[in-house]
Structure 1
């Protein structure tokens, strides 16, 4: 009998727990949302907020509520740059930098017409916002910066002390026993790279001693690191790469203008001919 009583107790206890759980989780009977249904609803709302119909990097919600851009067009202003990239880099995704033909109401007087034209030319559109703009004055258009992946608002995207455009002109790779090193990538300063071994460091520190107009080795560092792109002399012509950038010469060629005179000689003699054929090899 005791055995039967125990079994009966277990059965009724299980039924009670099951029924109680049903009333607590059923929306129709207990008045509560199902935990599973709530989770699904939450995920759906998150997915809706993250939806990016045109794949431009901006969610539809942001395009509609904050930027006024087209959720079905990745380049609302048709300037060749995606809306998301423009927003990320401080450009206006609604301004392509080009003036459209103004439709002047013939009933307007000359003064109001002039005011409308002045407003368009001075405030909208802004040429720096378009594909040919160059807000950071580094010599690269916004379109080129997007293709390179550089920042159109910073002339030196990798903070190595060298102009983005200058680096992009001379990007090259060097093979070392430890692997390949890519120099003059405007997105990578090559901080303390394989080429900057202890012997090279000692030689450069001795050269850049801060005396007689020379730069100081410590001043050439950023956060106690040195950029190979900046401090090395890649073409071994006697000019460090940052000096070549200052003179506008080619850091991968000893004789930038191909006049049979090394760059260092022309720089030392302040030769105007140095800049003839700049960048050619």
Structure 2
């Protein structure tokens, strides 16, 4: 068991582990003979496909562990706070047989689809995605990026919006050819839409700059992680994760409940439309 707390760099490497796993899996799948023959792929029984997939997933996992330092994932998995959080979700690590059966069931449900390598990679990895998401929130916490985004992000977005709006005003001058105006306005409108998408830089649900701000910011990040993966804020899981060694100040359950409510309300607001 690795008890040494990972560095920020280690956390970032582990935060990106799922994307590395996904890319590596897709590369391995493309090289497999079965996936180069559409008839053979279509005629293969789901249970056999599931076994092949599990073998390929294991190869991909071994490969990225050689290429990248993913020790932060091992550290996280051994933390009591993480274990309690995961158990509070009602989840548990599957046995090999259970994992194979689940994979086969997913293949049967989507049998009519022609899987791409990326779709196949996405058939597994929920547990890994969850851990990677936690590592990213811890990285944002220890580096101060989360607090910086909360304090400076809205100001930066407003400034960029003002600059693009001024650009559009200038681009609308009569001396520009009409086709040039259309092109400039079209490109700038796309930029504005991107800036105001809820996933570009999510609006902070807490901005009061006090000593608890870093804790509230990381809690909000964890809440968003659970909403993305499980559709709920899962206050108990967030409460347990706030007990990880990195996080210096604990939050009361009622504070986490308020943050969940605020985040849910934020998500009901439709993004800005042009």
Q: TM-score under structure 2 normalisation?
A: 0.23
Q: Decide which structure has the larger Cα Rg and report it.
A: 1
- Which structure's residues are more often helix, by fraction? 2
Q: Could you say which structure has the greater relative contact order, defined with CA pairs below 8 angstroms and 6 or more residues apart? A: 2
Q: TM-score under structure 1 normalisation?
A: 0.23
